[in-house]
Every structure is written in C-alpha cells, then in structure tokens.
C-alpha cells in the first residue's frame, strides 16, 4: 500500500452522515452529496467577514469549500472530492468554521466583551444559538 493510499479519506454512508450531523453539527444538513450550512448576517460587512473567516480556516486546513453569498447570508458547502463524499475532513472543518463564526466572547466571560448586540451599527452576524 502506498503512502497516498494510507492517507486517502474514506467517505461515510448517508445515514452515518445524517446521524453525525444531528449529534455534532445540528445547524448543518446533508444535501446532494454535500454538508451545508447557511449563516445569516446583518448585511454586507458581516457577509464578507464570514467569507474571509471560512477562507482563512479552509486555507489553513488545505480543504476548500464551495461558498455562495448574498447581501445578508453565506452558504458553506463541504465535500471531499477525492473520496467522492463526506469524510472526517469535512466534519472537522465544519466544526472549526462553526466554532469561529459563532464565537461570542461575552458568553465565555473574561476580558473580551464581544460585539455590542443591542446596537444595529455594530451587529454583523445573526447568531442562531
């Protein structure tokens, strides 16, 4: 077995994908061979921030999603093309994206207060949990 074959990711069957999403990433869903997530933003500034965040994480992970965007939303789609399906790579990058995009320092306590949510001028993402 070659080194490439040893590191080749293995795709999960559909039911395993759905079960894992429900347990680990409940805001993500499986459709047309991709795991997907729609992030709602407060406008273009927030949309660009989400796109740049996803871009940085994807580049650092060397695993690149498809992204669709409009004024107040971003859709992230993940799939491992070499495995022709969803692998651990997709789940791990989705988890990292979820953690960073939805990070709310004020909920953790500590010195970082987070973006003021009560003032429209500063809000940039619509947190859905």
Q: What are phi and psi of 75, to 5 degrees?
A: -110, 130
> Tell me, what's the pLDDT at 1?
43
Q: Considering its fold, how many domains does the chain have in total?
A: 1
pTM recorded for the entire structure: 0.91
Return the CATH number at 83. Answer: 3.30.1360.20
Instruction: Find where tokens 């949990």 sit.
Output: 129
Using CB atoms within 10 Å of the CB of residue 81, give its burial: 0 to 12 exposed, 13 to 18 middle, 19+ buried: exposed
79 within domain boundaries: yes
32: left (phi over 0), alpha (psi -120 to 50) or beta: left
pLDDT digits (tens, 9 = 90+) for 41-72: 999 999 999 999 999 999 999 999 999 999 99
User: For residue 6, what pLDDT band results from cuts at 50, 70 and 90?
Assistant: low
pLDDT digits (tens, 9 = 90+) for 85-118: 999 999 999 999 999 999 999 889 899 998 887 8
120 within domain boundaries: no
Residue numbers of the domain that contains 73: 3-104
């Amino acid at each position: 077995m070659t080194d490439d074959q040893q590191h080749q990711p293995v795709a999960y069957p559909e039911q395993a994908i759905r079960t894992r999403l429900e347990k680990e990433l409940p805001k993500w869903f499986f459709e047309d061979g991709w795991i997907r997530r729609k992030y709602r933003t407060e406008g273009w500034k927030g949309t660009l921030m989400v796109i740049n965040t996803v871009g940085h994480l994807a580049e650092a992970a060397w695993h690149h999603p498809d992204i669709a965007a409009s004024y107040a939303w971003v859709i992230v789609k993940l799939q491992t093309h070499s495995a022709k399906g969803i692998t651990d790579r997709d789940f791990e990058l989705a988890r990292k994206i979820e953690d960073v995009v939805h990070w709310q320092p004020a909920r953790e306590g500590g010195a970082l207060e987070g973006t003021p949510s009560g003032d429209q001028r500063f809000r940039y993402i619509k947190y859905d949990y």
